[in-house]
Amino acid sequence: MKCIINRRAEFSASHRYWMPEISDAENFARFGLCTNAPGHGHNYVLYVSMEGELDDYGMVLNLSDVKQVIKREITSQLNFSYLNDVWEEFQQTLPTTEHMARVIWNRLAPHLPLTKIQLFEHPELWADYEGNNMEAYLTISTHFSAAHRLAVPHLSMEENFEIYGKCARVHGHGHNYHLEVTIKGNIDPRTGMIADLVDFQKAVDSHVVEPFDHTFLNYDIPYFEKVVPTAENIAVHIRDLLEAPIQQIGAKLHKVKLIESPNNSAEVFGLPVEDADATKMEQPELAIAP
């Protein structure tokens, strides 16, 4: 029987986004404050996922052995280091979160049966790498506050209460929504980036956070005049809003996760490339969550 196990580790390190082959002005235009010398630091959190058959002792691997491998190959070398200088891979390619995840995979793969490397630069930015050559995933987390009412316009109050319960009350209710947007793409061999992080953040802010924040979704967002703003439908609409902007920054939208509360969340995946134009279709007349 196969099982996936996960091991967590931490290290603190600094890095700088700067390429000597271009001018200081060009570096600043591309990387902003991340070009400032002598660099800046993060408390990185690393998750190593491994898969294998359960042995007679009920383990995939002895976690004490796994801990020592990660310490020897990764954390003892990276902790309290200046990443640009510590490994050759970071001299050829800037030590972005996504590139670091790939390099960590390559250094651990000879020793552990990896399925995924997940590296958090901070709680609102992380990368995933699954061993697919130069392809990686980058996620940003953000939030907005909004109110909504769950009700189908042509149904009676009693019918809506049967479907949605208290959520059908006339004046609605609010949530502090947490939003995770994941893109995927190939890591640039020089910049180490899937896409420009500032452009990625701007796309999410301008197309979702700013229009949605402190609104009553049913009345302030035209899409939800005819579509019930369940967490599922909000996630789908966010996906559709972000498809084209993410393509414009050179990446592919992989997933949108909307966390309505600690108890409820919804996830939708990006459209296949050939269906990307589907976001331009007419909005549906009505969408009701099951």
Which residue among the candidates 167, 178, 254, 267 is catalytic per the annotation?
167
* Residue keyed to tokens 């049967």: 162
Contacts 24+ apart (CB under 8 A), 206-215: 206/245, 207/241, 207/242, 207/245, 208/144, 208/179, 208/238, 208/241, 208/242, 209/142, 209/143, 209/144, 209/179, 212/144, 212/146, 212/177, 213/144, 213/145, 213/146, 214/144, 214/145, 214/146, 215/146, 215/147
- Catalytic residue selected from 10, 26, 214, 225: 214
34 in catalytic set: no
* Residue 167 is among the residues annotated as catalytic for this protein: yes
Known active-site residue 260: yes
Reduced DSSP (H G I as helix, E B as strand, rest coil) percent helix, strand, coil of the chain, to 5? 40, 30, 30
Query: Which member of 98, 121, 243, 260 is catalytic?
Result: 260
What own/partner pairs with CB < 8 Å and gap ≥ 24 does 62-69 have?
A: 63/5, 63/7, 66/5, 66/7, 66/112, 67/7, 67/9, 69/108, 69/111, 69/112
Residues marked as catalytic:
167, 214, 260
